[in-house]
Amino acid sequence: MTIRYAALDLDGTLIDAADQPYEGVVAGLEALREHGVVPLLVTGRSASSFRGLRHLDDLFAQMDDEVLLSEGNVRLARAADALTFLRTCPPQVLCRLSDDPGIDLVAEWSGELHATTARAATQFAMAYRVPRHHIAVTVPVTAPTTLPTAVTVFRSRTHVSELVSDLDCEIVSIRPFGAQVVRPRGTCKAAALVRHMRWRFGEPDLSRTLAVGDGTADAAMLRACAMSAATQGADAAAVAAAAWQLRSDLASFLHDFRPKGG
């Protein structure tokens, strides 16, 4: 087995809760590249949130230019600062949610974040570590042609599932924040990565790809790749999906990794 690509999660894998790279990670990524492995970034961050990480340019310089955002539903070409929206929810999703009189939500579309209330904007900023000024409070929050990449609902009078039950989307509960995220049906880092590898590198599958992650959202990607590792402190879903869990820091693993046989 020869590994030529490494798909890496961002938050909790490469950077900590203060949005700082873990010690030695930048040098580890550089070593990975020197051994012929291309590091790829696959993250749940929105475009607006990701663009706020300008202080991580040294880290991102080691990654491939094309980044998968929003769990793989959005592609960002960093050099050109150009977004491609690969999967979106139907416009009726945001229209119906916005019609609920008690709704507190933040919607992502066209790479920007829009909230129905200041309270929702503040909750989103705290939950996802996004600067508050990156979230506009927009009334009305939608237009008939708006295609959201994701809608995070913090409060509603009507159950979210009732509002969008017949539409082509899915709902994911974010337990620590007490929120529900409505996103395109079939959202999955693994499926997005397969499509991306075909488009970007002409790779037919993930048989030459290593995956590294720490969270539930990374589990499918960890399971799908030829080789996979859950980081120290990874949650149970990531550990169960990965081939192994790192016993030392990620920087050491990246520095010591060899493409043939790991």
CA dist., res. 136 & res. 133, Å (int): 7
pLDDT digits (tens, 9 = 90+) for 202-222: 999 999 999 999 999 999 999
Task: Encode the chain (262 residues) as per-residue pLDDT tens digits.
Answer: 799 999 999 999 999 989 999 999 999 999 999 999 999 999 999 898 898 898 999 999 999 999 999 999 999 999 999 999 999 999 999 999 989 998 999 999 988 899 999 999 999 988 887 888 889 998 777 766 789 999 999 999 999 999 999 999 999 988 767 899 999 999 999 999 999 999 999 999 999 999 999 999 999 999 999 999 999 999 999 999 999 999 999 999 999 998 885 4
The conformation of residue 184, written as its DSSP 8-state character, comes to: E
Tokens 């997005």 belong to which residue? 192
Instruction: For residue 164, give Cα distances in angstroms to 76, 102, 189.
Output: 28, 16, 23
Per-residue confidence (pLDDT) for residue 166, from 0 to 100: 92
User: Does the pTM of the predicted model rise above 0.95?
Assistant: no
Per-residue confidence (pLDDT) for residue 129, from 0 to 100: 77
E-assigned strand segments in 156-207: 169-174, 179-184
At 134, which amino acid appears?
Answer: H
CA dist., res. 176 & res. 11, Å (int): 16
The angle at the Cα of 69, spanning 230 to 95, to the nearest 5 degrees, equals: 125
Instruction: For residue 104, give Cα distances in angstroms to 65, 119, 120.
Output: 35, 7, 5
Per-residue confidence (pLDDT) for residue 144, from 0 to 100: 66
All domains in the chain, ordered by first residue = 5-86+187-256 (3.40.50.1000), 91-184 (3.30.1240.10)
Residue 6: name the closest of 164, 221, 240 by CA: 221
Q: Assess contact for 120 and 99: CB atoms under 8 A.
A: no
